[in-house]
Amino acid sequence: MAESVVLAYSGGLDTSVLVGWLQDKGYDVHCLYVELGQPCEDREAILQKALDIGAKSSELVDVREEMCRDIAFPTLQWQARYENIYLLGTSIARPLISKVCLQRAREVGAVAFVHGATGKGNDQCRFQLAAEALDPTVNVIAPWRMDEFRDKFPGRTEMLAYCAEKNIPVKASASKPYSSDENCLHISYEAGDLEDPTVDGETVIDFGMTVSAQEAPDKEEVVTVGFESGVPVSVNGEQLSAAEIVETLNTIGGRNGCGRIDIIENRFVGMKSRGVYEAPGMTLLYAAHQAMEQLTLDRDLTHLRDQLSPVVAEMVYYGHWYCAKMDALLAFIKEAQKPVSGEITMSLYKGNIRISSRTSPNSLYDEAIASMEKGGDYNQNDATGFLRIVGLPGRVQGTVRPREY
C-alpha cells in the first residue's frame, strides 16, 4: 500500500506538476486547495483537475474568516509593518496553510506535508516553521530544495513537456513578465521583469485589486470603519464578518487607487528582493485603526506598542506565528486594545487617505484641556516647575561639561 502525502495545491503549473511527480515517487497524493479569497475562475475545475491527474483526493477548505479574524486583525492591532511598509499579506497566510494541511494529513494518515515553495524564498520558512511548531515530528517535503527535482525541471519548458507527456491539463500560455500571489488581504508581484529595479512596476503589472491614481474618480469617497477593542466590526454602519470587512474595503479602496507599494525588501534567507504589493482594504484598516488609537490610547502604552511592533512584524514575516513569544505578544495586545472602540471616517481621493472624523466613547481627548483658551484642568503655571525638574539633568551636565554655542 502506497504512503500518502498532503500537497498544498493551487492548480497552477508548479503544483500540477507536483501531483504527477509525487505519484512517480510512489505516493498517494491528497490535494488541499486552501481558500484564502484568491481570485480564481473555477474552483470546481481546479479540484477536478487534481483528480484527473491522479490525486487520491482533492478538497477545498475555506479559511478566509479565520485568516482575517485570527491572524490579520491581531497583526493590524500591532500596526505591524515589515521594514516599516509591507503589510504582510502573504506572510499572514502561510502558517494557516500549514495548519490546515496538517489537519488534513491527520485525517488521511499522510506521512508528509508537501509544498511548492522555492529554496530561495521566504515561504519555505513560513511553511516549515509553522508545521514543525504544530507537529514537531512532521515530515516536510519541499521538492524545490531537492537536486533531483530541479535537475528534472530546471524551467517552465521542461514542466510543460512533462505535463504534455502525462496528459496533465495546463494553460500553455506565454510566460508572464512577473509572478503573483493572491489572497483577500493583498496581491504580491515579483520576479521576471520586476527583478530589474529600474523597471517601473506600473508599466509591467496588470493590477488585480486597484486602479491607478490617474484612473481613480475625480471626487472624494467617504467611508466609515467601526472598531470594538481594536477589532474592525463595521463598514459604513453595517456589521460585517472579518472577511467581509476586508473584501468590502478592498472594493472601496481599490476603486480609489489606495494601497499600492513598490519596495526592495530583505528576505529572511538573506537576499534583497523587489516586491510590488497592492492591499487596498488592509491599507484603509491600518489608517483607520491608527487614527482610532490616537484618540483612545495613552502615550506610554502607544509608545511601548510602537517599540514592539517591528518585532511582531519580523516574526510574522519570518514565519514565527506559533511560538511562546508570539502567544505572549498576542495576549499583551489584546489587553492593550480594550479601549480602542469607536468610528473613524476617511475621505479617499486618488490613492490618498484623509482622516475626516473620529468618535469614541473612550476618547482621551479633552477639548477643554487641549484648547489654547483658558479653562480645563490644566494650569499653565504648573509647567514652570515641571520644566525645572525635567531640565535638572541637563543643567547639571551643562555646568560640568559646558557646550559650545
Q: Residue 181 in 3-state DSSP?
A: strand
123 is known to lie in a ligand binding site: yes
Residue 264: which residues within 8 A CB-CB, separation 6 or more? 197, 272, 273, 274
DSSP-assigned letters across all residues of 73-123: HHHHHTT--BTTTB--HHHHHHHHHHHHHHHHHHHHT-SEEE----TTSSH
Which helix (H) or strand (E) segment holds residue 180: the answer is strand 179-183
Among the listed residues 102, 119, 124, the one whose alpha carbon sits nearest the alpha carbon of residue 30 = 102
234 is known to lie in a ligand binding site: no
Contact between 37 and 183 under an 8 Å Cβ cutoff? The reply is: yes
**In the chain, what's the furthest Cα-to-Cα distance?**
86
Among the listed residues 281, 273, 238, the one whose alpha carbon sits nearest the alpha carbon of residue 256 = 281
Active site residue 58: no
Active site residue 57: no
Distances (CA, A) of 392 to 216, 218, 246, 356, 397: 55, 55, 51, 41, 9
Q: Which entry of 14, 28, 305, 360 is annotated as an active-site residue?
A: 14
Q: Which entry of 81, 123, 260, 341 is annotated as an active-site residue?
A: 123
116 is known to lie in a ligand binding site: yes
88 is known to lie in a ligand binding site: no
208 is known to lie in a ligand binding site: no
41 is known to lie in a ligand binding site: no
14 is known to lie in a ligand binding site: yes
Q: Which entry of 94, 104, 274, 305 is annotated as an active-site residue?
A: 94
86 is known to lie in a ligand binding site: yes
189 is known to lie in a ligand binding site: no
91 is known to lie in a ligand binding site: yes
Other CB atoms within 10 A of residue 82 CB: 20
CA distance 205 to 178: 8
Active site residue 200: no
15 is known to lie in a ligand binding site: yes
11 is known to lie in a ligand binding site: yes
Q: Which entry of 4, 179, 180, 229 is annotated as an active-site residue?
A: 179
10 is known to lie in a ligand binding site: yes
Active site residue 260: no
Write out the binding residues for ATP: 8-16, 116
Write out the binding residues for L-citrulline: 86, 91, 122, 126, 179, 188, 265, 277
Write out the binding residues for L-aspartate: 118, 122-123
Give the catalytic positions in this structure: 14, 94, 123, 179
Write out the binding residues: 8-16, 86, 91, 116, 118, 122-123, 126, 179, 188, 265, 277
